[in-house]
Amino acid sequence: MAVAPRAQPEDFFSTEEWQALTARSSWRGLWVVAHCWAVIGAAMVAHRLLERRGVTARMETQPGYASLLTLAAAA
């Protein structure tokens, strides 16, 4: 299998922009970890709300593609 050529950052960003994107920041790391846990928590809350509405029980008896339709109809 052929390997695609790697894109160089200079093709898309100026030197100043690339330095700003790759600079180390402990606040950015903290933000990424906090955001990750917030998304996990939101997924847990969404599951609980859907479970209370009975949506997840209906999803267990349907094939995978129909589960998406059930979620769309419940929204």
Neighbours of 71 (CB within 10 A): 15
Q: Give this prediction's pTM.
A: 0.52
- For the chain, 75 residues long, give each residue's pLDDT as a single digit of tens: 688 888 888 899 999 999 998 888 889 889 999 999 999 999 999 888 888 877 666 666 666 666 667 777 776
* All structural domains of the chain with their residue ranges: 38-75
